[in-house]
Amino acid sequence: MRILIVEDEPVISSGISTALAASGYQTRLATDGEKAWFLGDTEDFDLVVLDLGLPKMDGLSVLKRWRTAGRQMPVLILTARGAWPERVEGIDAGADDYLAKPFQIEELIARIRALIRRSAGHGSPVIEAGPISIDTRQMRVMIDKANVAVSPLEYRLVAYLLHHKNRVVPPGELIEHLYGDDDARDANALEAVVTRLRKKLGADVIQTRRGFGYLVADKLE
């Protein structure tokens, strides 16, 4: 899962980045409104954390431009405490949730998890498909309710496929959402991770559609 953090205060943005990385998310940072707008318009993110008071272009204008251009990713806005007109305006402009500063980082992470789940159509923190399930609160993978030990990268791969279950996910999309910008990104590395996971989860849980991508489905075909 890739998250865009838009925040011009270094102390706040580094706190958010660190906590999100520890929770298994890839992050990108934009420190002004123009860069934020550009990244959100040209790259694919699973969620955006958007501060409203920003240099160059304010957060509300950025959000309105994304929504006008048809960008649908969930957006959580960070507002000043007590500034209720700002929150109303933000939600009217297309924000999905808000958090008032100062906030507890645990609350931000919980809201982000819930927003990502809901945007993928899942109401519960546990997502299942056939024998496999994940608990997004604890970053756990289970087969027939028994825990399976996985690496953070393996968890991210399984979690992405389960959030998008019953849909064939192209390798390029998976690579984009699994790896940070500095990590090596290639289809062979991805195939190696899938091979390792098949040994841990069973051969059929992650299916390959040759030439199209990978699939985790409710029913095995």
Interface contacts to Ca ion, rule CB under 5 A: 8, 51, 53
Q: Which two tokens stand for residue 166?
A: 């019953």
| CA-based torsion, 49, 105, 27, 7: positive or negative | positive
d(C-alpha 75, C-alpha 90), whole Å: 10
Listed as own residue / partner, the contacts of 144-148 with beta carbons closer than 8 Å and 24 or more positions apart are 148/200, 148/201
Please state the closest distance from residue 8 (CB atom) to Ca ion, in A. Answer: 5
Q: Choose among 135, 7, 142: nearest CA to 79.
A: 7
Nearer to Ca ion, 64 or 196 (CB): 64
- Whole-number minimum distance, CB 7 to Ca ion, in Å? 6
Give the separation between CA 178 and CA 175, rounded to whole angstroms.
Answer: 5
C-beta separation of 126 from 133 below 8 A: yes
Q: How far is CA 6 from CA 2, 80, 82, 148, in A?
A: 13, 15, 21, 35
Alpha-helical runs (H) found in the chain: 10-22, 33-42, 59-68, 84-92, 105-119, 152-163, 171-178, 187-201
Q: Min. distance of Cβ 101 from Ca ion in angstroms? A: 9
CB of 111: closest distance to Ca ion in angstroms? Answer: 19
Closer residue to Ca ion in complex, CB, 46/51? 51
Task: List the one residue out of 145, 171, 4 whose CA is nearest residue 73.
Answer: 4
CB of 30 or CB of 112, closer to Ca ion: 30
Beta carbon of residue 143, minimum distance to Ca ion (angstroms, whole number): 44
**Shortest Cβ distance from residue 80 to Ca ion (Å)?**
9
Closer residue to Ca ion, CB minimum distance, 95 or 162:
95
Q: What is the CA radius of gyration of the chain?
A: 18
- Using the minimum distance from each CB to Ca ion, give the nearer residue, 24 or 53: 53
Nearer to Ca ion, 51 or 96 (CB): 51
